[in-house]
Amino acid sequence: MKATFKKYLLNFKNPSGTSRGILRTKETWFLLLEEEGNWGVGECGLFRGLSFDDVPEYEEKCSWVAKNIDLGKSELLKQLQNFPSIQFGVEQAFLSIRSQNPFHLFDSSFVNHQKPISINGLVWMGDKEFMHQQIEDKLNGGFSCIKMKIGAIDFDTEIELLTSIRKRYSKSDIELRVDANGAFSPNEALSKLERLSKLDLHSIEQPIKASQWDEMYRLCQNTPLPIALDEELIGIVDVTKKKEILLTIQPQYIILKPSLIGGVAGSKEWINVAEQNGIGWWITSALESNIGLNAIAQWTATLDNNMPQGLGTGSLFTNNIESPLEVAKGGLFYNKSKHWKNNLIKSLCI
C-alpha cells in the first residue's frame, strides 16, 4: 500500500469572525491511499490555534504515517493518540479504500435514500448589519435552528440581535444556540448567562475558557441556560480522564468534533460516557473540506440523534472539493445527482 499526504489551504468566501479573531484561510491535509488499483482518501482536519495536535512536528508525523502505513489502521491509531486529526484521517482513508465507492464510508439512509440530516444554520460574528443579513438568509433558507457565534463584539449588541430574532420568531418557531468560544470571564459568566436565558435559548457552548473545571462545574450547577462543553474536550485522550471531566463538571451537553477528539473511535468513547451519565450530545464539523465533512455526516447519520447537528460548514469556502453534499431546507443532503471530483482529489496528493 502506498500513502501520500498533501497540505491544502481552504479559502473563506467571507472573512469569518470568532472570539479568537478573523479567519480567512483554513489549513487541512489529505491522506491518499493506493493499493492494487484501488484508492481511498481521508482528511486530517488540523485547526491551527485550536487542535491538540497543532505542534511543530505535525508534518513530520504525517510523513511517519505515510512510511508506516503497512502497520494497518489499528496499530496506527494506537500510535497516534496525540494526533487526533491524523487519527481521523487514517480512519477515513482505510474506510475509503476498502469500500466499492471511495466516498461511501457508512451505510445509512443519508447516502442510500438521500434522507437529510437536520442541521443548525451558522451565523458568524461581524458588525450588526452583517449578522442581521446572515440571520435573514438562514431563516429564508428554511432553518429551524440557528447557532450564533458571540463574544467578539459588544455583548449588548449581541443581546440586541438575539432579542430582535425573538421578537419576530418564538421559541417554537426557531431554536437558538449560541457559542461563546470561551469568551466570558468566570466572574462575569453567570450574569451574562442570566441575560441570555431570558431569550429562550437552547444552550450556550463553552462560556468560559477550557481547563477551568471548578469554575465550569459551578456554572453548570447554577446556570439558567444549558451549557455544552466544546473546547473542554480537546486534548483529553484517555477514557478514564473523559469520565473524570464529565463527572466533575456535569454539563448538560457535550459537542463532538471528530477532527479534534480522535475521530470516530474517540467520539464514541465520549458518547458512551455521556450517555451513561445522562448528558446530551451532538456532532459538529470543524471547518473541514467536503472530504472530512462527508465522513462526519455519514457517520452521524448512523447514530439516530434527531437533534440539529453542526454540519453546515461546507459552503464557507471558495475552493472546496465539489461533492454531492448539499444544504437545503435546514438539512444536509447527499444529492446523488451530483458527483465528486475524483481526478481533482487524486491530483492534490501527487
Catalytic site positions:
149, 257
Q: How many CB atoms lie within 10 A of CB 246?
A: 21
Q: What's 170's DSSP letter?
A: -
**Residue 5 β-bridge partners:** 31
**Residue 327 β-bridge partners:** 332
Of 229, 350, 349, nearest to 280 (Cα)? 229
State the Cα–Cα distance between residues 72 and 294, nearest whole angstrom. 23
Cα dihedral 136, 142, 145, 146 in deg (nearest 10): -30
Contact in structure between 168 and 140 (CB atoms under 8 Å)? no
Positive/negative CA dihedral, 237, 242, 248, 249: positive
Rg (CA), the chain: 20
State the Cα–Cα distance between residues 350 and 289, nearest whole angstrom. 18
Across 66-127, where does the E strand assignment appear? 117-118, 121-123
State the Cα–Cα distance between residues 21 and 19, nearest whole angstrom. 6
Positive/negative CA dihedral, 240, 241, 245, 246: negative
Backbone phi, psi, residue 68, to 5°: -115, 25
Of 143, 76, 102, 114, nearest to 295 (Cα)? 102
Contact in structure between 189 and 214 (CB atoms under 8 Å)? no
Residue 8's Cβ-side half-sphere holds a number of Cα atoms within 13 Å equal to 31
Q: Among all chains, which residue has been given the C-alpha cell 418557531?
A: 173
